[in-house]
Homo-oligomer: A and B are copies of this chain.
Amino acid sequence: MNELRREPVTGRWIVTYLDRIPTVKDFKIESNEKKGEATCPFCWGKEDQTPPEILVHRKYGPPNSPGWTLRVVSNKFPALRIEGELNKEGVGVFDMMNGIGAHEVIIEAHEHNRDTADLSYAEAEQVIWAYVSRSVDLRRDKRFKYILIFKNYGKIAGASLEHGHSQLIALPIVPKRVQEELEGAATYFSYKERCVFCDMIREERDEKERIIYEDEKVIAFCPYVSRFPYEVWIMPKRHASDLTGLDRDTVPCVAKALRDTLLRIKKYLGDPAYNFIIHTSPINGHDREDYHWHIEIMPKLVKVAGFEWGSGFYINPVPPDIAAKNLLSVKLEETK
């Protein structure tokens, strides 16, 4: 018998299979082998093929030349553009505005073949710091209301370039999905006086069944209501609504949790495509008691089809406790 599970923040229902659990082979995971190094605009020596760097960590060399270890540049083909004034108008029953925003690319390492899963802890930390410092900078622009940071890894997850990179988009509005999450969390808070995410952490720690990483500051688990097989959420254990509030002690823990989780996924599932998204509060959100920033990692193992589109339900054939057990079975070598 399958089970329907509901998540209290967004009210999303998930159908969890309790029989016929697929193995790794059943997912027919497509190879993410990287073949495009010769023409890659994100490798050393191709710095002139991207807009100039906004933020960089370098070992040597002048700006926009080889020698860097992490590089942030504007997206050459942005979904939204940074120049101009924000204009809004009505078009019949619809609303329209011009596409003001910032769209940046965080190139995580100079080597063509190294994904977040392959970084050292120190390199992964650099990536998290880049997210924080670009967010802090863009928050000053009064036109923006939300900063969305995400990664598409692999073609079927929407990556158009192979070279490991994440993206940041600053938006002139708080997007619908974020609004829904904020409202759900606020409703929960209004009748419990507690953060729903803090309650989730408490529950995961009590049950211990689905945790795949834990240290003093950070926890990672396959949530009880996982939309996708092998979905993992990473959260700071202390309540914090915003990524930009991250302190020096927590950044290495977030980096380690993210790196280790992605490496477990890569090794157990055979390098599948995935998306991860940083869920954080809007720019003028102050310190919210009711919202808790976190990272959601979604391996792309199943197709989203008509049922999901029509209902907002998700069918997950791998119960999260099994997913956690499988991910934990991976041996990670010690890395610094």
Residues of A with Cβ closer than 8 Å to B? 1-8, 10-13, 15, 20, 77, 79-81, 84, 91-99, 146, 148, 150-152, 155-159, 167, 169, 171-173, 175-178, 180, 188, 196, 199-200, 203, 224-225, 275-279, 298, 303-307, 309-313, 315
Contact = CB atoms under 8 A, between A and B. Distances in A.
B310 A94 contact: no
B94 A7 contact: yes
A293 B151 CA distance: 36
Which of A7, A84, A93, A159 has most chain B Cβ within 10 Å? A93
A120 B286 CA distance: 60
A169 B13 contact: no
Number of copies of this chain that the complex holds: 2
Nearest to A171: B311
A222 to B, nearest CB: 14
Contact of A176 (B12, B159, B175): B12
B15 A150 contact: no
Given A79-B315, A176-B312, A306 B167 contact: yes
Nearest to A313: B175
Contact of A277 (B80, B98, B306): B306
Given A4-B99, A171-B311, A304-B304, 12 more contacts: A4-B98, A15-B79, A91-B224, A92-B203, A93-B188, A148-B307, A155-B303, A169-B311, A177-B312, A178-B310, A277-B306, A278-B310
